[in-house]
Amino acid sequence: MNLLAFFFFIFGAIIGSFLNVVIYRMPRLMPLGLPRSRCTNCNKIVYWYENVPMISYLFLRGKCSNCKTGISIQYPLVEFVTGLFSLFLFFDWLEHQSFLIFIFKLAVFSIFLCIFMIDIKHKIIPDGLNIYLGLLFFIYSFLYLNWVDSLIGAGIGFGITFGVTWIFYKLKGQIGLGGGDIKLFTALGIFLGPLGIVYNITVSCAVGAIIGVALIALKIIKSNQHIPFGPFIILTSFVQVFFPQVFKLIFSY
């Protein structure tokens, strides 16, 4: 059992290593396969033994082996978090005996993590990630959910957010929500259904507003500074998708 659990942790860490590639390359419109990874400073090729999840970072002491430029702590953290969540899903799999659900949940978590990191760093949500997430939820809906509820949920996710953004633009002449946020809400609506997506929109906006006001009050950001909204959507969705009983307990729906 311990050996199997260790395997699933390592499996998740390897997935996390690929997610780092996605997080770096996708917003830069770079191919996710070739060419091989290189140091962003000196362009040195990263050899396979320098790309072992977490271990290589410690071995290299967080620096490029050639130019000694610092390597972001993001890389081992993403690998560790993904490995840890894979381990969590492994025990969940033992309880529910569904490897298909394990793959589905790990894939959704991976997309969530990529969206979270990319939106924080670049203030965009790539269409590709929203499409992959929507396809995953569509397949899951077809197999396990009421597809009518899924269609209504997707419609509500798009309709409410697009409508509010359109009205805000007409009144203020400014874009409220970005297209990536609207598409993300649409994809989430497929899985969450009508009521779930309404709760998601409400809670995401509330959390975003509270944290935004707090950051302005603490003078961490300026009042006219743009705050990416995707991370708040992802945090709310993470609880709804992976810990629905907690969300239901808190909000009693």
Q: Indicate the domain borders of the chain.
A: 1-97, 130-253
**How many angstroms separate the CA atoms of 177 and 165, rounded?**
6
Question: Is 80's pLDDT higher than 90?
Answer: yes
In sequence order, what E strands does 93-207 have?
Answer: none
Phi, psi dihedral angles at 239 (to 5 degrees): -65, -45
pTM equals 0.91
Question: Is 174's pLDDT higher than 70?
Answer: no
The whole-number pLDDT of residue 39 equals 81
Nearest in space to 11 (alpha carbons), one of 146, 149, 140, 107:
107
The whole-number pLDDT of residue 175 equals 67
**How many angstroms separate the CA atoms of 64 and 51, rounded?**
11
Both tokens of 138, joined, read 């569509």
**Top-confidence range, 12-21, 35-44, 242-251:** 12-21
What mean pLDDT comes out for the span 102-131? 95
**Angle at 113 (CA atoms; ends 103, 142), nearest 5 degrees:** 40
Nearest in space to 30 (alpha carbons), one of 116, 133, 122:
122
**How many angstroms separate the CA atoms of 193 and 182, rounded?**
16
Q: Which amino acid is at 47?
A: Y
